[in-house]
Chains A and B, each alone.
Chain A
Amino acid sequence: MTGNEACAEAALRAGMRFFAGYPITPSTEIAEFLARRLPEVGGTFIQMEDEIASMAAIIGASLAGVKSMTATSGPGFSLMQENIGYAAMAEVPCVVVNVQRGGPSTGLPTLPSQSDVMQARWGTHGDHPVIAVVPSTVRETYDWTIKAFNYAERFRVPVILLLDEIVAHISEKIVYPADEEIEVVNRECTKKDPGSYQPYESTDSDVPPFAEFGTGYRYHVTGLSHDETGFPTNDPKKVDMLYRRLNRKIDRYQSEIIQYKTTFLDDAEICVVAYGSSARSAYRAVSEARKQGYKVGIFHTFVLWPFPYEELNRIAQQTRTFIVPEMNLGQIAHEVSCATKKQAVGVNRVDGGLITPDEILERIRDVPL
């Protein structure tokens, strides 16, 4: 199956029962798959009039207690940004799939890219929390779609699932994980009665318990800065408290959210930091380089935001050089430089072609140690 199909199938497995979307290459197969499957499982599929409406609709459905998702690509992702900020502000769990293609603007609709990685973090305005995950194979897409829902539900945030045209359209055989192999998390619902419920109450976990619309709680949800009761406020103390809590609820759990895999790093002088489909080429390049005697390893991250600054900083204590292959002009390389305090070296392509193992291997050979 393809990455897009794996994503759609996994979303159903995670309990997603509402999808709103708008056709856009190369994400459309997700919508097509769910248009067929959702009514079979008692869920709802709707093709909205645009991506703005799609994002709005999944927030509305999530407030009714239904796990919701939309899928799009670059231009549509741009259109969704305002409402992604709303979901962050109003703490509405949802998953937004962005199958990256070349950009800016209409760009390269049918070709891969990884150039929305910064937009996933900072696309909407304001200081907001976000989680972005980035699988590199079809099976990882399946697993990380479920995890994306788990993160969204646990932290009450929009989670961005970053695919790219390669991962989305490649066809690979996968074996579905057994039920005991997967964990499905559902949002924590309030145990309080409607009279004492405060929708944005400060709690030990910093994630306020949820109450479904239409179950007697009759609370107010707004994109305005609000206090614990959910109503708008300009009180500097309360506003400050809100924004700090919103960001803290992700910051403090970073080490639980960030997941990565390291290979050959123990004695490595060079570390290739890889993510998404570029990681596929990185593995091949590194194993080839090892055969040729280069002390090189891989740090393969599945989570881009929050970014693994501390983890990379630790590796930088023993590894001198960092190489970052990515289909953009160095967006994550910049973060790697920040994390490691060393100038990361990029392997970059923005011509619509994938980064080949040879291109990474060449950089491993050339890079000054």
Chain B
Amino acid sequence: MFPYEKYLRRNRLPHIWCTGCGCGIVLKALLRAIERSKIPKDNIAVVSGIGCSSRTPGYLDFNTLHTTHGRAIAFATGLKLAKQKLKIIIVTGDGDATAIGGNHFIHAARRNLDMTVVIYNNYIYGMTGGQVSPTTPLGKRGTTAPHGTVEPSFDIARLAIGAGAPFVARTTCYHAVQLDKYIHKGIMKKGFSVVEVLTPCPTYYSRPNRLGNAPDMLEWYKNNTIQVEVERRASEEEKRNKITIGILHEIERPEFCEVYQGLSERVKKKSTE
């Protein structure tokens, strides 16, 4: 049995999430990844914005910061630069990270600031009761798109890659083992790492869209995803309408704190000469 209790604020439980919500699956995977990283609790800061996923830090026994809607990465930028020994983990949702917080997301990726962003992508605004988000698939319903959304959706992982993130992975709540492996890799990556996790919202996404209950959604993830290595040698037919999962992007890039540190040392040397 994994010692989750070591990392939980037991007196804050039970959590606020609905039955069948994917947030708990991600929370547990996150804790397994942190355990594997062996980083002391005191040196971890978990930062979030607003939304269901953003309630995660309240249950976790780290330095935890629950910020304003969409701004977790911006708050964390200051926190990281002011105390570089902190390992920053952002927990955020599709709306928080890519609608209201989209600007901060792409710029932190561009800077390559050392932090790990775990995005719980449930295709919907859950906390406010089921409005469509930038990742709601075209045609799917939410309370603000009762006839189905007419907007194309963001591909978060591709957005992150395009913006410069050196580590980008995507998986789902069905692939729980893979999930903690990717979060762990993200944490160990020096730089801006993004792990997008497809998470079920049986209350506000599956129900209005007649996609069944939580197990049905997990089943859907199983049947509608394709591992990136498999995809490379799959036929067009096999790939059609499948969501690619796996480590989608992994490169080396200079990390911002180190770059700034280098600049600082150069400047100091010059000013004392």
A50 to B105, CA, bound (A): 12
Residue of B nearest to A232 (CB): B58
Chain A 47-64 near chain B by CB (<8 Å), digits 1 or 0: 011101110111111111
C-alpha gap A220/B48 in the complex (Å): 11
Q: Does A82 contact B (CB under 8 A)?
A: yes
Interface of chain B: mostly helix, strand, loop or mixed: helix
CA A313 – CA B104 in complex, angstroms?
Answer: 47
Judged by a CB distance under 8 angstroms, whether B151 is at the interface is no
B82 near A61 (CB under 8 angstroms)?
yes
Contact flags A186-201 to B (C-beta < 8 A → 1, else 0): 0000000000000000
Contact between chains at B263 and A215 (CB < 8 Å)? no
* Contact, CB under 8 Å: B103 / A49: yes
Beta-carbon contact of B67 and A61 below 8 Å: no
Q: Please report the C-alpha to C-alpha distance between residue A239 and residue B263 in the assembled complex, in whole angstroms.
A: 46
User: Would you call A44 an interface residue if the criterion is a C-beta within 8 Å of the partner chain's C-beta atoms?
Assistant: yes
Taking the nearest CB of chain A, how far is it from the CB of B124, in angstroms?
A: 22
Q: A216 at the A/B interface (Cβ < 8 Å)?
A: yes
Judging by beta carbons under 8 Å apart, are B107 and A60 in contact? no
Q: Residue B203 at the A interface, CB < 8 A?
A: no
Counting contact residues on chain B (CB < 8 A from A), the size range is: 35 or more
Most buried by A among B77, B263, B268: B77
Residues of B within 8 Å of A213, CB to CB, are: 45, 63, 65, 79, 83, 86
Say whether B240 faces chain A, with CB atoms less than 8 Å apart: no
With A40-B267, A64-B79, A220-B58 given, is the CB distance from A56 to B68 under 8 Å?
yes
B43 interface contact, C-beta 8 A: yes
- Report whether B63 and A218 are in contact in the complex, using a CB–CB cutoff of 8 Å: yes
Query: Knowing A49-B104, A213-B79, A214-B86 touch, does A56 contact B71 (C-beta < 8 A)?
Result: yes
Closest B residue to A45 by CB, please name it: B260
- Interface residue ranges of A59-116 to B (CB < 8 Å): 59-66, 68, 82-83, 86
Q: Which residue of B lies closest to A221 (CB)?
A: B65
Q: Does B238 contact A (CB under 8 A)?
A: no
Interface string of B25-52 (1 = CB under 8 A from A): 0000000000000000111010100000
Q: How far is the CA of A229 from the CA of B78 in the complex (A)?
A: 24
A93 to B65, CA, bound (A): 15
Q: A42-B268, A60-B77, A220-B57 are in contact. Are A52 and B82 (CB under 8 A)?
A: no
Please tell me if the beta carbons of B65 and A42 are within 8 angstroms of each other in the complex: no
B241 in the interface, Cβ–Cβ < 8 Å? no
Tell which of B63, B67, B78 touches A219, judged by Cβ atoms closer than 8 Å.
B63
Also in contact, A216 and B78, with CB within 8 A (given A40-B268, A49-B104): no
Are the CB atoms of A214 and B63 closer together than 8 Å? Answer: yes
Question: By the criterion CB–CB under 8 Å, are A56 and B268 in contact?
Answer: no
Contact between A57 and B66, CB atoms less than 8 A apart = no
Q: With an 8 A cutoff between CB atoms, is A231 at the interface?
A: yes
Separation of A62 and B104 alpha carbons in the complex (Å): 19
CA–CA, A218 to B47, complex, Å?
12
A155–B207 CA distance with the chains assembled, in angstroms: 49
Is B74 part of the binding interface, using a Cβ–Cβ cutoff of 8 Å? yes
Closest residue of A by beta carbon distance from B71: A56
B62 cross-chain contacts in A, Cβ below 8 A = 218
B42, B78, B107, most chain A CB atoms within 10 A: B78
Q: Is the CB of B68 within 8 A of A223?
A: yes
Going nearest first, the 9 A-B pairs with the smallest beta carbon separation are A60-B78, A57-B78, A56-B74, A61-B78, A60-B79, A64-B82, A61-B82, A53-B74, A64-B83
- Could you write out 21 A-B pairs with CB less than 8 Å apart? A18-B78, A20-B78, A39-B263, A44-B82, A52-B71, A56-B67, A56-B75, A56-B104, A57-B81, A59-B67, A60-B82, A63-B65, A63-B78, A64-B82, A82-B68, A83-B68, A86-B67, A214-B63, A218-B41, A218-B42, A231-B12
